[in-house]
Amino acid sequence: MTTADATARAPRASIITVDDDPGVSRSIARDLRARYGATYRVVRAESGEQALEAVREIKLRGEEVAALLADYRMPGMSGIEFLEQAMAVFPLARRVLLTAYADTDAAIRAINVVDLDHYLLKPWDPPAQKLYPVLDEQLAAWTAAARQPARQVRVVGHRWSSRSYEVRDFLARNSVPFRWLALGEDAEGERLLAAAGQDGTRLPVVVTEDGAALVEPTDAQLAATVGLSTVPATDFYDLIVVGGGPAGLGAAVYGGSEGLRTVLVERMATGGQAGTSSRIENYLGFPDGVSGEQLTERARRQAAKFEVEMLTTRQVVALEPRGAARVVRFDDGTELAAHTVILATGVSYRMLAAPGLDDLSGRGVFYGAATTEGPGCAGQDVYIVGGANSAGQAAMYFARHAKRVVLVVRGESLDRSMSRYLIDQIADVPCIEVLTCTEVVGGTGGDHLETLTLRDNKTGESTTVDASWLFAFIGAAPRTDWLEGTLSRDRNGFVLAGPDLVTDGARPPGWELDRDPYHLETSLPGVFVAGDVRAESVKRVASAVGEGAMAVSLVHRYLEKA
């Protein structure tokens, strides 16, 4: 391995290039040094293993890596594998894959696996046109990111406090880095409370990166403190998207990309239920799977790229027509108006009806994946209720941490409700046990869950087991009570749209337009619905994103004829 200046003592950020062809390796190192040698330390390696050794040495010296350039086709360790391991050491380093023309599909794969920043076709001659402009842009992006101060929000609370859990979940789902300090388990938490003048009776306490202490903060206070937007920039838009799950994010991205002034309103965090999925493996374009968090973060970045405003901690409680405008009202009494609205509020998991569990929510009983709790389950038994994909994905996630994962399924098998790929994966994990024809019928606990009662629906026998962790993924309750009297819904509360509103040729009551509702249009013209909240929708991420995009095309048709 060689460097531009092996004896230099001044710490400089490094550019690491790795290619198993010695001639190519020397060539790119020469071109890099000619342009960047005065500012960056150029490190050349001829294998992924050699490059990883350099990465670790640089980390130990307390220096930085600005960019990683790796050849795709290398024996032993491919360029993608190298980048995936290197990004764990230097997550801010810009990642560039060197590919031949025939390997462009590899670059697409790398985008999925390592969040690739760029791929560069070989040869790159002349470098002034094909190499330097690319790397100039990547190094500028690294410099901007590296100079930003690290955000270190700290949360002090009780391990078995429902509000402490809610705060951690809120921060995690909004991609806000934080450190969790459990009172009684971490001395730093005691020191922070003392510095904040608190005695631990009012928790959680959130200490911001600039040292401000928030005692028992609301979600809105958290959002404002960590830099999330809660106030709209104006009072009128082309499109309001209500809900930030896959359907809402899809609608926002397409709305913004097509020139509509778009605002997305979310009551907690973008991503919805899909955002908490540990691994989605049947989404188009991600052959190696993608976590809900990764998918959500990329969608957020796309929406921001197209100048979509995203408001968090805003609860919409009413919708009404006002002339040609459509107006949504928030729970604080303020309003927002637009030409059109897309409802993408998704669904929530139903509460377990078992006695004893209501008071333990957030204290051992959780609705949804609650991935922030994964490390706390280490070496313990975890019970998961549900037989659909969300439950299966959670089982696979918690199997990484727990001693045993028990999947409690009311049906006779998983075949009717879960994708085959997940069923096969679960069957291959020894620590996952599937209990069919079984229900949770009770639970007990003091400050947290301690026991569960399981009933075998075939025999009628009940068994009580020790349990501290229960995650429920049952049913789908639409969040549409606030639409009562405004839009037509089915008996379960899902919003009716398009052909479902037309009965025997008759349009919905109060429909004044001389046409039938468009496919995703609700009983109020100009208001559309997409994703899980729509009646008879397919409960999958891909279909939700597709409906969000389709809804925007119908918004354009509506605006053209309005």
pLDDT in tens, the chain (562 residues): 443 333 344 468 999 999 998 988 999 999 999 999 999 999 999 999 999 999 988 887 778 999 999 988 888 888 888 888 888 788 889 999 888 755 556 556 555 555 778 878 877 788 888 899 989 999 998 988 766 555 578 999 998 899 999 999 999 888 888 889 999 888 888 888 888 889 889 999 999 887 889 999 999 999 999 889 999 999 999 999 999 999 999 999 999 999 999 999 999 988 887 777 777 888 888 887 777 788 888 899 999 999 999 999 999 999 999 999 999 999 999 999 999 999 999 998 888 989 999 989 999 999 887 777 888 888 999 999 999 998 999 999 899 889 999 999 999 999 988 999 999 999 999 999 999 999 999 999 999 999 999 999 999 999 999 999 999 998 778 989 999 999 999 999 999 999 999 988 899 998 989 999 999 999 999 999 999 999 999 888 999 999 999 999 999 999 998 7
Distances (CA, A) of 93 to 36, 87, 98, 135, 321: 16, 7, 16, 12, 49
Query: Are 377 and 402 within 8 A, CB to CB?
Result: yes
Query: In the prediction, which pLDDT does 32 show?
Result: 94
What are the percentages of helix, strand and coil residues in the chain, rounded to 5? 35, 25, 40
Separation of alpha carbons 323 and 321, rounded Å: 6
Strand partners, 456: 438
- Residue 445 C-beta-side C-alpha neighbours within 13 Å: 27
**What CATH homologous superfamily does 153-225 map to?**
Glutaredoxin (3.40.30.10)
Model pLDDT, residue 1:
43
Q: Which CATH class is domain 358-472?
A: alpha beta
Q: Which residues of 53-73 are buried (b: 16+ CB within 10 A; e: fewer)?
A: ebbeebeeeeebbbbbbbbbe
Provide the H-helix boundaries in 174-245.
187-195, 219-225
Radius of gyration of the CA atoms of the chain, in A: 26
Are the C-beta atoms of 18 and 45 separated by less than 8 Å? yes
Domain 2-146: CATH architecture, name and number where available: 3-Layer(aba) Sandwich (3.40)
Q: What is the pLDDT of residue 460?
A: 95
Give 55-59's long-range contacts (Cβ < 8 A, gap of 24+).
55/16, 55/86, 55/89, 55/90, 56/89, 58/14, 58/90, 59/89, 59/90
Q: Are 208 and 309 in contact (CB under 8 A)?
A: no
Q: pTM of the prediction?
A: 0.73
Delimiting residues of CATH 3.50.50.60 domain(s) in the chain: 236-348+478-561, 358-472
Question: What is the model's pLDDT at position 305?
Answer: 93
Identify the pLDDT of residue 5: 38
- d(CA 513, CA 533) in angstroms, rounded, equals 24
Report pLDDT for 4. 36
Copy the structure tokens of residue 84.
């995936």
Q: Based on DSSP, count helices (H) and strands (E) in the chain, helices before strands.
A: 14, 27
Q: Is-contact 196 294, C-beta < 8 A?
A: no
Every domain range in the chain assigned CATH 3.40.50.2300: 2-146
Residue 144, number of CB atoms within 10 A of its CB: 9
Question: How confident is the model at residue 287, as a pLDDT?
Answer: 81
Q: Which fold does the domain 236-348+478-561 belong to in CATH?
A: FAD/NAD(P)-binding domain (3.50.50)
